[in-house]
Amino acid sequence: MNILIVKLSSLGDVVHAMPAVQDLLGALPGARADWVVERGFASLVQRCAGVGRVIPCELRRWRRSPLARDTRAAWRAFRQDLQATDYDAVLDLQGLTKSALVARVARLAPGGRRYALANRTEGSSYEAPTRWVADVAVPVTPRSHAVDRSRELCARALGYAVPARLHYGLRASATAADPDRPCVAFVHGSSRQDKCWPQARWIELGRRLTGEGFAIGLPHGSEAEEQAARAIAAEVGPRAQVWPRLDLGALTDRLAGCAGVVGVDSGLSHIAVALDLPHVQIYNFDTAWRTGPAGGRQRSVFAAPTPSFDAVWAAWQAVREAA
């Protein structure tokens, strides 16, 4: 059985879809799962256990100049790549017009079907074309976690029960920045400034952790984030290291080598959850029920306008004890 997963972006959403792939591969022995994703996240999907072909696209870039010669050539190449396999099931886990377009372009095997969400879930984006394009629109629980939504859609579409065990299947080769000292990574940056935690609290947390013998790792993905990382490191001291700018695969390996992660609601934080690292995820909005970790080795902390240092520290101690 050839299955196509359509989950294009963003980073956190891609991570949240990984357990659904593990579920269906476990429930359907011999099934093959390919995945269409934005090129920037392809290296991460290649690390998802059991995924066959990873088919990269660049819809974000193409829509800026849809009629340009380069765009038309790239679209033709993508379509040819996508249609190289006939699929028995195409699963649109995104629920947007762009994912519906990709699902429509994919080629079905005889008797194959396209499946998509029949309804919006609370707090998530949803656009009607995903339902119109599908052969089967699958109703899902209206208030559900992002991980559960994808798992439920796949299970109902393909006729199996959602397994009790949650497994992301994200493979990594742990790479420690300093093999002689355990490192805690600070995921301090976000594409949205209103998701960030005050810099003074990162500094306080860094000083507390280095006082307990940890090193601090500071990843970054933009010039602004790099400047913030350097400012934090300068105040924390020599045990705080600003990491070089890494591609997504290398960054996943570096995170996997850490003793834990503290981060805001961002894609890297969701990778930390998928790697099952001790992790505290900081929320300035009451959305942790939809995208945050469920407990045990990972905990979310929410407060408006932002969680206190004491709340984050207490959560860190709890996840360390659970590790």
Write the pLDDT tens digit of every residue in 276-302: 999 999 999 999 999 999 777 999 999
pLDDT at 254: 95
Phi and psi at residue 13, to the nearest 5° = -65, -40
pLDDT at 44: 96
CB 275 within 8 A of CB 47: no
3-state secondary structure of 238: coil
Residue 37 bridge partners (DSSP): 56
Rounded CA gap, 241 and 176, in Å? 12
pLDDT at 181: 87
Place of tokens 């294009």: 8
Tell me the per-residue pLDDT of 22-66, one tens digit each, with 9 for 90 and over: 999 999 999 999 999 999 999 999 999 999 999 999 998 898 898
pLDDT at 303: 97
Rounded CA gap, 255 and 271, in Å? 8
pLDDT at 130: 93
Rounded CA gap, 6 and 22, in Å? 15
Structure tokens at 213: 């013998």
pLDDT at 180: 76
3-state secondary structure of 136: strand
Measured CA to CA in angstroms, residue 50 lies from 169, 213, 249, 277, 304 at distances of: 8, 38, 17, 22, 40
Contacts of 212 (CB under 8 A, 6+ apart): none
pLDDT at 182: 95
Rounded CA gap, 295 and 144, in Å? 16
- Domains along the sequence of the chain with CATH: 2-158 (3.40.50.2000), 183-322 (3.40.50.2000)
What region, left, alpha or beta, does residue 141 occupy, with left being phi > 0 and alpha being psi -120 to 50 degrees?
Answer: beta
pLDDT at 169: 97
pLDDT at 297: 92
Rounded CA gap, 174 and 252, in Å? 8
Packing angle of the helix pair 69-82, 97-105 (nearest 10 deg): 60
pLDDT at 295: 72
Low pLDDT (below 70) residues in the chain: 177
| Longest distance between any two alpha carbons in the chain, whole Å | 63
pLDDT at 322: 87
DSSP designation for 41: G
